[in-house]
Structure 1
Amino acid sequence: MKPFAQDQSKNPPPANWLDRLLRRFSRFAYGVAVLLMYTLASTALGLALAPALWAWTQVRPWLRGLPSPLPWVASGFTLSICFFVFGLTLLLVIPAYNWVLPTRVKPFKGGYYTIHALPWFLHNGLFYLVRFTFLPFVTLTPFGIWFLKAMGMKIGRHAFINTEYISDPQLITIGDDAALGGSVRIFAHYGGGGNLVIAPVTVGNRATLGLACCVMGDVVIGDDATILPQSVLLPGSRVGSGETWGGVPARRIDREEMARIKAEIRGMTEALG
């Protein structure tokens, strides 16, 4: 096998001539796609920066007339406001790009370097522009919920989402009154061996995902279920209604075992006290 050759055994047949070209020159096509993504990202960031830059140019001449050290204090305050203007504008620009461009992600199993993976690549590339810049500042606000919904994430009433570590929002469904704890990682894909699997994730009504747990693609969590902190739900996991799962990899924990765990924790707490 040639170096860097891709395993095509699990790939569906090429969709068209462009798909065949992408597979034949996969490394080159990937490099071009990354450069195009950088260019597209630059236009989105530029549009979001424009109102903030305009506001700064309007305020800056007035700041020069202030006695020292007020110009430095006022400049810092104004630039901070400009940052939030940029971030809130970005929350509008990225969903608009996502709506106009071919980002309709569908379940898929096959190679990374196929035309089927392009919407997934583009959708996440746009989403990450916000996730790694401004989303942490609005995660627990209506702005954050609005942005996730605008990117295609299905979120029920009164759902509590205390994490920005999300990928593939278009394929994620969160039920009514569900709670995602801090630093929960949830994404609708997984891969390995040169192959990519894109599969939806569903979190049921009133389900609770504990601190920093990880939910991978092709996972269904039933109503009223609980995922313990730091647990990892592997692809294909099906958590039944009202069940408690925990561990790495996560498994079902029955009531008797959970009662023993709680008793041990109480015992250790009392001993330390």
Structure 2
Amino acid sequence: MKNNEQFDVLSTKSEKAGIAGLLESQLRRFRTLGFVLLLSPIALIYVLCMGLAFSPGVMLFQWVQETTSHSHIVIKGISLGLSMALGWVMYGLSIIFIVPTMNKLLPLKLAPHRASWYSLSVVPWYYHNALTYLVRYTFLDFITPTPLNILFFKMMGMKIGKGSMINTSNISDPCLIEIGDYVTIGGSATMMAHYGMKGILIIDKLVIKDKATIGLKASLFGDVIVGSGATVRPNDVLLPKTRVPDREQEAA
């Protein structure tokens, strides 16, 4: 990523060559329509992921419905209600595996870079976060903090060391976040490996080293490094390019 690279964010011409350049130029010329066309497959991906995740619950509900078809209305109602509730839990346990699988299958890989918002290179960023948010806004809060939310973020590409605890679901760009060993992420902290400025999207890694502590509701952006043993206080905001130094461990 070239830090000194300049962009004309109002330009409708692409710097790329060939078909990619032609496509990107059309995207910048017809911005709304272009992004609708490029991102509309996300809706189909949502339908596929959610449909597969709901399937076990639907099958359970149908089985209970058939089994209790001749039962008393009270027994039938309770049985169907319990099957619906269990079906929702089955959805959640399914979606945390289905979404990372879809993320791996998509031929779109997110990497640190900077570009105009209206560039082909930012499309993987949209897709990766769209998949992350599907789980975040439908189930993730209910398994935070547990080993299951750690497992989900690992499957989405986040590097997480041993003994670390993540007590938040407010996470974007998990594949570009690195967390060391014995790190504690406080409740409702926000972490994202990107930021925007002057019409440009900058995507860069967020690194939290061993034994660091991130306080309640702190906010961390891309291009931030938190040193080993350091503490970020509750509600602190670490802007891009912030470097929190290592903290020497006190002698026992």
TM-score, structure 1 length as denominator?
0.82
Correspondence for 2:171: 166
Q: Deviations over 1:145-164 (max 9, x none)?
A: 11110000000001010000
- Distance in 2, matches of 1:224 and 1:27, equals 46
- Distance in 2, matches of 1:204 and 1:116, equals 29
Trace 1:29-44 onto structure 2 (pairs within 5 A). Answer: 29-44=34-49
Q: What is the RMSD of the two structures over their aligned residues, measured on CA atoms?
A: 1.8
* TM-superposed deviation, 1:32: 1.8
Q: Deviations over 1:26-63 (max 9, x none)?
A: 22111223322112211111111112111111111223
Q: Is 1:69 equivalent to 2:66 in the alignment?
A: no
Assess, with a 3 A threshold, how the Cα gap between structure 1 residues 68 and 54 changes in structure 2: closer, same or farther: closer
Q: In structure 2, what residue type is equivalent to 1:136?
A: D
Q: Is 1:144 equivalent to 2:146 in the alignment?
A: no
Q: Is 1:56 equivalent to 2:58 in the alignment?
A: no
Q: Deviations over 1:114-148 (max 9, x none)?
A: 11101111111111110100111112222211111
Q: Is the 8 A contact 2:209 2:229 kept in 1?
A: yes
Q: Is 1:88 equivalent to 2:93 in the alignment?
A: yes
- Distance in 2, matches of 1:134 and 1:44, equals 13
Trace 1:189-208 onto structure 2 (pairs within 5 A). Answer: 189-208=194-213
Number of residue pairs aligned between Structure 1 and Structure 2: 237
- Distance in 1, matches of 2:148 and 2:135, equals 12
* TM-superposed deviation, 1:169: 0.2
Correspondence for 1:127: 132
**Secondary structure at the counterpart of residue 32 of structure 1:** helix
**Secondary structure at the counterpart of residue 40 of structure 2:** helix
**Secondary structure at the counterpart of residue 51 of structure 1:** helix
2:107 to 102, 105, 130: 102
Q: Is 1:214 equivalent to 2:226 in the alignment?
A: no
- Range 28-37 or range 141-150, more displaced: 28-37
Q: Which runs of 5+ in 1 are unaligned?
A: 1-5, 244-273
- Distance in 2, matches of 1:165 and 1:89, equals 21
* TM-superposed deviation, 1:194: 2.2
- Distance in 2, matches of 1:196 and 1:182, equals 27
* TM-superposed deviation, 1:93: 1.0
Q: Is the 8 A contact 2:14 2:25 kept in 1?
A: no
Q: Is 1:179 equivalent to 2:184 in the alignment?
A: yes
- Range 64-73 or range 141-150, more displaced: 64-73
- Distance in 1, matches of 2:108 and 2:228, equals 30
Q: Is the 8 A contact 1:185 1:212 kept in 2?
A: yes
- Distance in 1, matches of 2:245 and 2:193, equals 19
1:79 to 77, 80, 84: 84
- Distance in 2, matches of 1:192 and 1:37, equals 25
Q: Is the 8 A contact 2:158 2:177 kept in 1?
A: yes
* TM-superposed deviation, 1:8: 4.6
* TM-superposed deviation, 1:22: 2.1
How high is the sequence identity, in percent, across the aligned residues?
36
**Secondary structure at the counterpart of residue 39 of structure 1:** helix
**Secondary structure at the counterpart of residue 178 of structure 2:** strand
Q: Is the 8 A contact 1:12 1:110 kept in 2?
A: no
Q: Is the 8 A contact 1:156 1:177 kept in 2?
A: yes
- Distance in 2, matches of 1:120 and 1:186, equals 15
Q: Is 1:13 equivalent to 2:15 in the alignment?
A: yes
**Secondary structure at the counterpart of residue 71 of structure 1:** helix
Q: Is the 8 A contact 2:203 2:222 kept in 1?
A: yes
- Distance in 2, matches of 1:106 and 1:75, equals 46
